[in-house]
Structure 1
Amino acid sequence: MLRRSLVNVGLRLNRQQQHKAGIQGAIEHKKIYGPLWKSTYGPLVVVNVASAELIEQVLRQEGKHPVRTDMPHWRGYRELRNQAHGPLTEMGEKWQRIRSILNPRMLKPKHVSSYSNTINDVVTDFISRVAWLRDTSGQGVMVNDLTAELYKFAFEGICSVLFETRMGCMNETVPEETQKFIFSVGEMFRLSPIIVLFPKSLWPYLPFWKQFVATWDHLFKVAEELVNKKIEGIQQNVDLDKNMEGAYLTHLLLSDQMTVTEILGSITELLLAGVDTTSNTISWSLYHLAKEPEIQEQLYQEVISVCPGDKVPTSSDITQMPYLKAIVKETLRLYPVVPGNARVTVENEIIVGDHLFPKQTLFHLCHYAVSYDENIFPAPHTFMPQRWLRGDDKLKQHPFGSVPFGFGIRACLGRRVAELEMYLLLSRLIKHYEVKPDPTGTAVKPITRTLLCPATPINLKFLDRRAEQGASSLHEDKSHIVMIVTWTTTLSEQCS
């Protein structure tokens, strides 16, 4: 028999429980209440879902136009400034129209692979930046606060793809405007969970809201300048009767499928979504590879077997690197950038477990808690990339045990570009450097600031493999010389 409400779990969590660390809190609440429980977050009442089977049930009933959440604070800014909604904030048929225009050049493999050279150019500069950071750190081969550096890489990479321009993040001195943009992104994500604690009617009186608006103002200002610059470039070529071809932004502007205002809204949201996944995931990957030299060596051997010598990995080479992909998957399982997703039932009542939920129910999908379920992932706290390789163990995994990019038609629009960035960067970094942990042995834990990120800086040592190999060869050469001299001396003594 179906029940219309949750029994014995429909309670309001007290203030201390609400503000507990969200990621661990979900795991603890699951132990107490089971895989379904109700809680409040400011004015929001949410149904928490913390099992792979139940998450699958929610997502498979999400309807034709899925809604994550109405994101009132993000939408509120756009209404205040008369800005267009993008793929993250738009809903219904308008959202479907935007996604249908944006999807092809972000999701089709042939288009995504065409970004390989663009991304590899940024990777090359990042490898050089790592060398510069080592040389100027005063700590030998140490690179401090790796996540901050990878954030610059990810920002440079996604701007190269979306705006078809470089932002100077790989320079020794990063431009002030670029630094301010990066800071604004971080502030926006920091302020978001604070603002939604308050009713919308109070927002104008909150200092947090004013800061939130200021960060969005700067984000849109920079994006608008880049879009206008591209429009001017297109117009100059048109005036000269030149054929105009380009990648993402140029294609959108020339297609006339979206207004400039719509393009601005969508591009700005894509930019936000395209930075944290890459920077945080590669940070955690390198953190674990440094602690697990056997895994790092296995990855290194895979990379040099596919791309020996000076060969630079491309998108086609990545298809031959299953262990590389397994490392990224395992990292995203342990540290899903979005630890909890949301869905709102807007079209129909749905059944989850043995409960019947009405329309407008807000579900919180506890992905982090599920990714540490030992029934799905044995030894869940252990970094084990091999669990993602083809074999019997992988067949036992629930397909919704780890879904870091979401599911269905509302899945992450930038998934393939983010994956390509991560694969190219990680493969080339490990080919060039051996990564070792911080000698202090400081453990780094995750924390939630809307997105999951390292709570403290990740500091790692980067040893140049070519320098090591050269030193090793020199040592072998000296050994051979000593052996020859010894043999010659012995022979001379015997002859005399």
Structure 2
Amino acid sequence: MDLLILMLGFYLSWGLLRALLYIANRGKLSKVGKLPPGPRPVPVIGNLFELGSLPHRSLTKLARTHGPIMSLKLGCITTVVVSSASWAREILQTHDVSFSNRLIPDSSTPFRHHEHGLAWVPVSPLWRNLRRICNVHLFAPKTLDSNQQLRHQKIQELLAYVKKCSETGSSVNIGEAAFRTSLNLLGSTILSIDLADPTSESAKEFKELVWQIMVELGKPNVADYFPFIKWLDPQGARQRMTGYTIRMHDIFGTIIENRLQHQNVSGFVRKNDMLETLLDLSKDKEEGVDLVLIEHLFLDLFGAGTDTTSSTLEWAMAELLRNPEKLSKAQAELEQVIGRGKPVKESDIARLPYLQATVKETFRMHPAGPLLLPRRAGATVQVGGYTIPEGAQILVNVWAVGRDPATWKDPEEFIPERFLGLDMDVKGRSFELLPFGGGRRICPGLPLAIRMLHLMLGSLLNFFNWRLEDCVSPETMEMGEKFGMTLQKAQPLRAVPLPIEI
């Protein structure tokens, strides 16, 4: 409602000015080429009201009318949305150089995060250095192999918690349990500490903090569509994000300071974690890494790595419980390959094709980032006979790509079998399946996220049988969504773990 009131106010105030600018810009664009088709914009506000509360679904519906590449006017911002694998390839591969930089949301600017954070910083020497550090020092296979024992320890803690629930007949909030484990898995790998005590409320508080950040980054903000009023922060998004960012920086700043103090104590034993690596790099002036950059990197890694992984696991468990025959198949594979009740190791994942297919099918139907992060056209580019003007926002609707009936048979059905024997991965080479994006801006944490997700899901399925709470059946399960920068279940999944017979 507040957005509606603001928009109506600006409509009256700026109507004449925007009409004149529209006429001028239309003349310029006609000399270059034509925009992709799209719904007719209302003067000033454009197509903003057509986004709705679930923009990925609204844009998918519009694409059925206007095509897999379409243009919208969101306030002052020309936006191009692609909704098919072939058009995603055009944006993320063929013209990746022109579309590699981000359209910066105002909510990402507190503490100049857009100038330091890997997710937002433009392609530049700084960005290349951050990517190199991630690829060579943080997420390289050798590095992840060396600290996998830390992650297995966190899985055992998750299983111990679920076992207690099983013994008392209590249900498990799958999303919260997955978030707590994801947080501690990342904490162990990056910092060698737990950021969430399983017996405290700290994980729930951290999850709420991360979710609020994702909401602010993902929801429509008037300041992004009318840049000339950014200084007003009319919806208070920047102010709220400043508060959230302060809390995150306090957490990571304290951890970094404690580590530095311990390094100066005699007898200090080095830890095999990412923080140690980054602190080593910070001492080498040629690496271009300092403590401020490390804090901003952690903000991206923990913000994206915890919420996306736990959300995907929750969707996977929800789909399996809604499709009991798929759940049985996944557990039968685990029993045959590993043995029921035996630990699932990261090295086992390659021998579990149905588990891998289940994760891919979850990515297809419920990508954690349904619209990826917005890109910005660095120049006026001709794409498939259409003109994408410099400065335009580019959205890749991977949610729509994953449910495109031209690519997928029965796209609304959860069918892991479709991936068995299909040479398709999630590493940005198969444009039909892009949960981590593609091109040079593909998510750098992909290697760790894949390990964590398969390990958690496989362990939960192999150590326990599962049923829905008494008042819920597969047919009546609530599968609604709530939209932020990530896509979560609107109603948290609760399931009852049952002991297995070995």
Could you say whether these structures have the same fold, taking a TM-score greater than 0.5 normalized by the shorter chain as the test? yes
Contact conserved, 1:300 with 1:431, CA < 8 A, in 2? yes
Task: State the secondary structure of the residue aligned to 2:487.
Answer: strand
What is the identity, as a one-letter code, of the residue corresponding to 2:446?
A: R
Contact conserved, 2:376 with 2:391, CA < 8 A, in 1? yes
TM-superposition CA deviations, 1:293-319 (whole Å, max 9, x none): 222222222223332366422221111
Q: 1:99 is matched with which residue?
A: 131
Q: 2:489 is matched with which residue?
A: 454
Q: Per-residue deviation at 1:179?
A: 4.2
What is the identity, as a one-letter code, of the residue corresponding to 2:97?
A: G
**Following the alignment from structure 1 to structure 2, what is the Cα–Cα distance between the partners of residues 20 and 179?**
25
Q: Which segments of 5 or more consecutive residues in structure 1 lack a partner in the other structure?
A: 470-496
Q: 2:73 is matched with which residue?
A: 40
Contact conserved, 2:37 with 2:71, CA < 8 A, in 1? no
Contact conserved, 1:335 with 1:446, CA < 8 A, in 2? no
Deviates more, 1:11-20 or 1:208-217: 11-20
Note if 1:264 corresponds to 2:289. no
CA 1:84–1:373 in structure 2 vs 1: closer, same or farther (change >3 Å)? closer
Note if 1:166 corresponds to 2:191. no
**Following the alignment from structure 1 to structure 2, what is the Cα–Cα distance between the partners of residues 416 and 339?**
20
CA root-mean-square deviation: 2.6
Deviates more, 1:295-304 or 1:455-464: 295-304
Candidates 305, 309, 323, aligned match of 2:354:
323
CA 1:59–1:168 in structure 2 vs 1: closer, same or farther (change >3 Å)? closer
**Following the alignment from structure 1 to structure 2, what is the Cα–Cα distance between the partners of residues 7 and 62?**
18
Contact conserved, 2:424 with 2:430, CA < 8 A, in 1? no
Note if 1:156 corresponds to 2:181. no
Deviates more, 1:8-17 or 1:278-287: 8-17
Contact conserved, 1:50 with 1:367, CA < 8 A, in 2? yes
Q: Per-residue deviation at 1:380?
A: 0.3
CA 1:121–1:203 in structure 2 vs 1: closer, same or farther (change >3 Å)? farther
What is the identity, as a one-letter code, of the residue corresponding to 1:294?
A: E
Q: 2:419 is matched with which residue?
A: 388
Q: Per-residue deviation at 1:131?
A: 2.7
What is the identity, as a one-letter code, of the residue corresponding to 1:149?
A: A
Note if 1:247 corresponds to 2:273. yes
What is the identity, as a one-letter code, of the residue corresponding to 2:209?
A: S
Equivalent residue pairs, number: 449
Q: Per-residue deviation at 1:25?
A: 0.7
**Following the alignment from structure 1 to structure 2, what is the Cα–Cα distance between the partners of residues 160 and 298?**
32
Q: TM-score, normalised by structure 1?
A: 0.84
Contact conserved, 1:333 with 1:402, CA < 8 A, in 2? yes
Identity across aligned pairs (percent)? 20
Q: Per-residue deviation at 1:52?
A: 1.1
TM-superposition CA deviations, 1:414-439 (whole Å, max 9, x none): 11111111111111111111122333
Note if 1:201 corresponds to 2:230. yes
Q: 2:318 is matched with which residue?
A: 287
What is the identity, as a one-letter code, of the residue corresponding to 2:154?
A: V
CA 1:197–1:67 in structure 2 vs 1: closer, same or farther (change >3 Å)? same
What is the identity, as a one-letter code, of the residue corresponding to 2:142?
A: K
TM-superposition CA deviations, 1:145-188 (whole Å, max 9, x none): 32122222211211111111112332x2234xx54333221212
Contact conserved, 1:300 with 1:430, CA < 8 A, in 2? yes
**Following the alignment from structure 2 to structure 1, what is the Cα–Cα distance between the partners of residues 165 and 78?**
47
